[in-house]
Structure 1
């Protein structure tokens, strides 16, 4: 996909809570990135990494301690009137009047939204047409989450902020939401997503950034981030055979190995070369490699290696 100009620009962003010194803490520390028009950008990190603190600044909900933000060419805090009608925001948790129905809630929100979609259209986008007359207090957690998304889409936003959009959804509803987000992106909507579901980021994101303790520590396409970590080949050999019986591991392109419980794991950055050499060796030895499993690194493995432990900073 060809992306246009940057619609989100972040440079040297900082956000501090509380006073200076030991009485406060810096949740966002010198964060810089851009998001291009029509792109889906995922911001990942463990709890306390600073994701939500960053997104709130992009949404114009607070003033940064330092740094520069531009959303659609404007400062989202100082020029909120120019930005707010053109963005959609789905917070981690919405607060709805419990006695209103789903349709009444959308209608109320539409009264505050420029160029709002019809109520039926908004509910239909998120699969809630059949629940329009149901009171909020009677909706499931997943249904309320979908209502959150309907409100975020009400104004046909150019930029959509989704903070943990599929939390509480069952697998079917999650995949339906993914399809909706893909369709919005194909129609030109720029999406900034935070999520704890790494398969969600891997399935949807054009690019991603991983935060740790308020800083971005890795960025790139999912393939680029994953590609920095070795693939793995796991198998077991017959009794009496050991790792030392294999061909020289360096010649196979192996960069690390482990042996535990009779199973061997080889780590390689050249999966095809290593696997081919291993299988040819096993054929020559007339040996079956039991439970053979070869796969590239996953985003989860890369994330766990990159994100590491946090120091308990706030989201």
Structure 2
């Protein structure tokens, strides 16, 4: 009995030691490259060893941790809330942009550029406390459903990326979200969805003010955490250059360039949406998630590009 117990214990330890940290990833070069990098920077005997304090990993959200088609989910939230408020008070539809948004005319809204979007956000995101706004986001996530999959939006997160986040944290990494989405929007669900606390979310932000015991969201935009804004946001909020960065579009190019441009080991990862059967297939053309420069320059820079169709066994959690 003693030897059988010891043997069983050894098997359990061996199973733990050799457990696959990324079970939803196929055994491709992409998975091998990720594991090899993590092994190299966490092994004290490795010449590429990085102390735990400097193991910073940053992840884009839209199209990288959860889906982003047909448009960013935060925009769908904004349009839903705009329509609700317009039903109660039609007079708020005072501009062509707001009228187009209420009708779901994304093309007309997009043609209006940033100014048109700010008009929508002024109605859907402003004059509300941060706490009330985030509670409203969670209430929306409970009831809203994706137009083509009929899934909850927060169910359309990527299982392989959840495993990657967990794997990195198990190996002593800090995992941060660095998103072009609104910081208060992403913070509302990031901890529940990804295990990332709100203080480790960097995002675009509008002005706020303190009023009667609450921080209130105001109309306008103070900082856009996209493209060249991402390294600026990382420097401002994190204060260290990451050694691992993951994105999916040219909006993440500067973040990966910044991450892999420092001294010492680093890893750049791009998600290429190649799976039109299980998710969505898109890259070089379109209104969202465009990936041109990353595909053209990424391999020469040593970045690893995930082929969603080939590298992932599954897309969404069961």
Whichever structure has more helix as a proportion of its residues is 2
Q: Which has the larger radius of gyration?
A: 1
Could you state the TM-score of these two structures normalised by the residue count of structure 1?
0.29
